[in-house]
């Protein structure tokens, strides 16, 4: 397969480029349909004239349909997308990129989704689908699944298909809540995921950014203690990765504290811990839910992140986590490689 692809790229590179372009158009329509031509052109940063020509071709092949509400994918179009995924993956050399990152970060597995979330928002949906597909393959009866909040984890929950093939599944929030959009808080996502997979769930009725005194008090509550113990028994943990300064602001840290984090070299954040570029924790905030020491005992960690600007945070938080399955977009993956190669 690799030899054939190399020959095609040398002899007829324009065909490979055209294939990738049409695949990208189909994928954007699939995740956003019904979608108008102008919005599609803006989302993909290409001219309406090019979009019009490609849409006419895709419609003639019965891969999309067009009506007054916009364009949407057909069954044939969806089949083509699914069949082309592996091919596009090989064309872009993503298998080699995955192996490189696995080796240099010393983690269990890397899955790279084609594209750049900063240029194509549908990449985030595909990222969520890839993470959900992986999770559905490893979840077993009687499993405990924990997940954090955030937009990226929401996309993972959205990516799960509704099914009842599992028995006695418990879904738990890995973190307390923050004063922000309730739709992407862990409690909300836990309830949605449990509904999708026919599982049970429990909620953590506590804010995440507590003082040490308040945290110690609330952890003595019987109900809170019980759910924390269950979270620490999870077999699967699904979580996003944050840029240190961004997460510090979201958690209400003062500008002075944020400057201190920058002086400490903090670049990434997970579970209330801030990591420097060497993967060392340089600062921790009081938090309710899963902690760094708990993560070591969880069988499968599914870390999901996208965007070139997340590369340093990904390296910092995930290096040497041998049970991590890292799911990222192509842009983040290539920037991770750039950083690794510069430091070697």
What is the rounded CA–CA span in Å between residue 300 and residue 296?
10
Indicate whether 102 and 67 sit together in one domain: no
Indicate whether 176 and 140 sit together in one domain: yes
Domains of the chain: total: 2
Structure-block tokens of residue 244:
């240190």
- 109 by Cβ neighbours in 10 Å (0-12 / 13-18 / 19+) ranks as middle
Residue 257 contacts residue 302 (beta carbons within 8 Å): no
Pairing outcome for strands 64-67 and 70-73: antiparallel
Instruction: Evaluate the CA torsion angle 325, 326, 327, 333 in order and state its sign.
Output: negative
Per-residue pLDDT of the chain (344 residues; tens, 9 = 90+): 556 656 666 666 778 888 889 999 999 999 988 999 999 988 888 888 999 999 999 999 999 999 999 999 999 999 999 889 888 898 888 999 999 999 999 999 999 999 999 988 889 999 999 999 999 999 999 999 999 999 999 999 999 999 888 999 999 999 876 556 788 999 999 999 999 999 999 988 766 666 666 666 676 677 778 888 898 889 999 999 999 999 998 888 889 999 999 999 999 999 889 999 999 999 988 777 787 788 888 999 999 999 999 999 999 999 999 999 999 999 999 999 999 998 86
Phi, psi of 284 (to 5 degrees): -135, 145
Indicate whether 79 and 102 sit together in one domain: no
Indicate whether 60 and 184 sit together in one domain: no
Indicate whether 221 and 239 sit together in one domain: yes
Q: Which residues contact 182 (CB under 8 A, 6 or more apart)?
A: 188
In this prediction the pTM is 0.89
Indicate whether 41 and 136 sit together in one domain: no
Indicate whether 17 and 145 sit together in one domain: no
**Residues facing residue 268 across a β-bridge:** 243, 275
Indicate whether 157 and 285 sit together in one domain: yes
Phi, psi of 254 (to 5 degrees): -70, 160
Indicate whether 115 and 248 sit together in one domain: yes
Structure-block tokens of residue 288:
């309710």
Indicate whether 74 and 177 sit together in one domain: no
Mark which of 66, 90, 114 sits at the end of a domain: 90
Give the pLDDT of residue 298: 92
Mark which of 90, 118, 149 sits at the end of a domain: 90
Three-state SS sequence of 58-81: HHHCCCEEEECCEEEECHHHHHHH
Domain that holds residue 81: 2-90
Structure-block tokens of residue 124:
């985030």
Q: Which helix (H) or strand (E) holds 132?
A: helix 122-138
Mark which of 41, 57, 90 sits at the end of a domain: 90
Indicate whether 297 and 258 sit together in one domain: yes
Structure-block tokens of residue 295:
């993560």
Indicate whether 157 and 23 sit together in one domain: no
Give the pLDDT of residue 208: 61
Residue 117 contacts residue 124 (beta carbons within 8 Å): yes
Q: Give the CATH number, domain containing residue 123.
A: 3.40.50.1360
What is the rounded CA–CA span in Å between residue 291 and residue 304?
18
Whether omega before 135 lies within 30 degrees of 0, making that bond cis, reads: no
Structure-block tokens of residue 282:
């340089």
3-state SS class at 47? coil
Q: What is the DSSP letter of 162?
A: P
Q: Give the CATH number, domain containing residue 43.
A: 1.10.10.10
Structure-block tokens of residue 30:
């699939």
């Amino acid at each position: 397969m690799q030899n054939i692809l190399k020959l095609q790229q040398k002899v007829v590179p324009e065909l490979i480029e055209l294939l990738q372009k049409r695949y990208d158009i189909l994928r954007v329509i699939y995740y956003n349909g019904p979608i108008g031509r102008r919005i599609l052109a803006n989302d993909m940063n290409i001219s309406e004239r090019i979009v019009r020509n490609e849409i006419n071709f895709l419609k003639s092949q019965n891969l999309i349909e067009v009506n007054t509400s916009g364009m949407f994918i057909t069954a044939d179009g969806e089949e083509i997308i699914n069949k082309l995924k592996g091919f596009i993956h090989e064309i872009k050399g993503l298998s080699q990129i995955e192996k490189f990152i696995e080796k240099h970060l010393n983690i269990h597995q890397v899955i790279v989704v084609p594209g750049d979330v900063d240029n194509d928002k549908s990449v985030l949906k595909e990222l969520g689908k890839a993470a959900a597909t992986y999770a559905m393959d490893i979840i077993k009866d009687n499993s405990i699944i924990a997940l954090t909040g955030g937009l990226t984890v929401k996309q993972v929950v959205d990516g799960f298909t509704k099914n009842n093939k599992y028995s006695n599944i418990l879904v738990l929030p890995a973190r307390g809540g923050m004063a922000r959009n309730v739709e992407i808080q862990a409690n909300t996502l836990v309830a949605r995921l449990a509904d999708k997979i026919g599982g049970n769930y429990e909620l953590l009725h506590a804010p995440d950014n507590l003082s040490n005194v308040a945290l110690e008090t609330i952890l003595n509550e019987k109900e809170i203690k019980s759910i924390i113990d269950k979270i620490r028994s999870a077999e699967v943990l699904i979580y996003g990765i944050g840029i240190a300064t961004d997460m510090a602001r979201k958690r209400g840290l003062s500008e002075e504290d944020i400057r201190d984090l920058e002086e400490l070299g903090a670049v990434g954040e997970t579970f209330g811990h801030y990591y420097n570029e060497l993967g060392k924790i340089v600062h921790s905030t009081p938090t309710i839910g899963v902690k760094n020491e708990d993560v070591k005992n969880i069988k499968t960690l599914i870390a999901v992140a996208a965007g070139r600007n997340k590369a340093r945070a990904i390296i910092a938080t995930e290096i040497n986590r041998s049970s991590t399955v890292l799911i990222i977009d192509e842009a983040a993956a290539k920037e991770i490689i750039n950083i690794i190669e510069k430091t070697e």
